[in-house]
Amino acid sequence: MGRYVIRRLLQMIPVFFGTTLLIFLMVNVMGDPIAGLCGDRQCDPATAARLRSEFGLDKPVWQQYLTYMGNVFTGDFGTAFNGQKVTELMSTAFPITIRLTVVAIVFEVVIGITLGVVTGLRRGRPVDTTVLILTLVVIAIPTFVTGLLLQLLLGVKWGIIKPSVSADPTFDELLVPGLVLASVSLAYVTRLTRTSIAENARADYVRTAVAKGLPRRRVVVRHLLRNSLIPVVTFIGTDVGALMGGAIVTERIFNIHGVGYQLYQGILRQNSQTVVGFVTILVLVFLAANLIVDLLYAVLDPRIRYA
């Protein structure tokens, strides 16, 4: 197991450098960052040149990348054009997004798995069909539609929630945004669990458990569920990474100043330091989440042993 983890960590190194380099190049071909700095007006050429040399933008791209990476490893993610340290932005943005992700994951796990188990055990019955159609609807409607719709109804029309959250939102403020963020994944978790449960329910070991005279609850929870959750855990694990970075739409709708919001602002303002910095961290989150999923896999299924 230890050797496996070390190998996986080593494999992360090229992936890490590859992705960050790609991001770096992409941001660079996005356009002139100085042009964006001056807003709609044309920049004064002298000021532009000064800024360029100040930020090191007159050097070749590979040199910029190396300098940047060198700084990253000392914990310096650079400075945004407005003078704010990128690490400062991160320290306010990430806690908020992590909270949002936690809410979303809890929704996925609790609602998704529950619905999946219920429908998986009652395949073809009215509950099953209803939930199946509902999940299809949720998957088919884009997040910004569900988000805006819920905001309009719950926030503006009925006043149950505030349409946008405060600067440092608490968990209960994030309930509705979290649900919106989770919605599509939740539908997938439901369907995945349902299929897995229905498949395993016919397995021989479930029949054995029934023949042993175990109560139905125990048969389902201890024998059926544990086996059925293996693919679901994999999905939810990889989804953590996706949710962290993919909350751009949700965070925009509810005005949550998290990672997605900062990324959106960074792209809009062509603020390359912010974009590259945040994406670098997200790459790390993704890699870590994937590793944890693979390790969890071995915990859930003893037949899998890594060496």
Partner 1 sequence: MLLEVRDLHVEFHTREGVAKAVNGVNYSVAEGETLAVLGESGSGKSVTAQAIMGILDMPPGKIAGGEILFKDQDLLKLKPEERRRIRGQEMAMIFQDALSSLNPVLTVGQQLGEMFVVHRGMSRKDAKAKSVELMDRVRIPAAKERVNQYPHQFSGGMRQRIMIAMAMALEPSLIIADEPTTALDVTVQAQVMDLLAELQREYNMGLILITHDLGVVADVADKIAVMYAGRIVETAPVHEIYKAPAHPYTKGLLRSIPRLDQKGRELYAIKGLPPNLTRIPPGCAFNPRCPIARDVCRTDVPPLYEVDAGRRSACHFWKETLDAR
User: Least separation, in Å, of the C-beta of 104 and partner 1?
Assistant: 27
Q: Of 206-225, which residues contact partner 1 (CB under 8 A)?
A: 207-215, 218, 222-223
User: Least separation, in Å, of the C-beta of 212 and partner 1?
Assistant: 5
Q: Name the token pair of 77.
A: 């993610």
Q: Other C-beta atoms within 10 Å of 40: how many? A: 5
Q: Name the token pair of 244.
A: 């962290």
Residue 122 phi/psi, 5° resolution? -120, 55
Of the pair 59, 212, the CB lying nearest partner 1 is at 212
Q: Of 34-53, which residues contact partner 1 (CB under 8 A)?
A: none
Q: Other C-beta atoms within 10 Å of 218: how many? A: 12
What's the length of the chain? 307
Q: How many residues bind partner 1 (CB under 8 A)?
A: 21
Using rule CB under 8 A, residue 59 touches partner 1: no
Using rule CB under 8 A, residue 300 touches partner 1: yes
Q: Other C-beta atoms within 10 Å of 265: how many? A: 16
Using rule CB under 8 A, residue 125 touches partner 1: no
CA-to-CA dists, residue 124 to 96, 117, 120, 121, 300, angstroms: 41, 13, 9, 9, 29
Q: To which residue do tokens 């694990």 refer? A: 237
CB 206 within 8 A of CB 129: no
Of the pair 191, 223, the CB lying nearest partner 1 is at 223
Of the pair 209, 240, the CB lying nearest partner 1 is at 209
Q: Which of 203, 242, 267, 288 binds partner 1 (CB under 8 A)?
A: 203
CA-to-CA dists, residue 248 to 23, 149, 162, 253, 267, angstroms: 17, 17, 19, 9, 11
Task: Report how far residue 211's alpha carbon sits from residue 60's, in angstroms, rounded to the nearest whole number.
Answer: 72
- Find the helix packing angle between 113-121 and 175-200, rounded to 10°: 30
User: Least separation, in Å, of the C-beta of 96 and partner 1?
Assistant: 37
Task: Report how far residue 37's alpha carbon sits from residue 259's, in angstroms, rounded to the nearest whole number.
Answer: 21
The partner residues of 79 in beta bridges, in order of sequence, read 85
Which region, judged by CB under 8 A, interacts with partner 1, from 31-39, 159-167, 169-177, 298-306?
298-306
| DSSP-derived secondary structure letter, 43 | P
Using rule CB under 8 A, residue 10 touches partner 1: no
User: Least separation, in Å, of the C-beta of 202 and partner 1?
Assistant: 8
Of the pair 137, 221, the CB lying nearest partner 1 is at 221
Q: Of 231-250, which residues contact partner 1 (CB under 8 A)?
A: none
Of the pair 209, 287, the CB lying nearest partner 1 is at 209
Using rule CB under 8 A, residue 157 touches partner 1: no
User: Least separation, in Å, of the C-beta of 136 and partner 1?
Assistant: 25
Q: Which of 196, 227, 271, 273 binds partner 1 (CB under 8 A)?
A: 227
User: Least separation, in Å, of the C-beta of 7 and partner 1?
Assistant: 24
CB 8 within 8 A of CB 292: no
Q: Which of 74, 126, 303, 307 binds partner 1 (CB under 8 A)?
A: 303
User: Least separation, in Å, of the C-beta of 125 and partner 1?
Assistant: 11
Interface contacts to partner 1, rule CB under 8 A: 203-205, 207-215, 218, 222-223, 226-227, 300-303
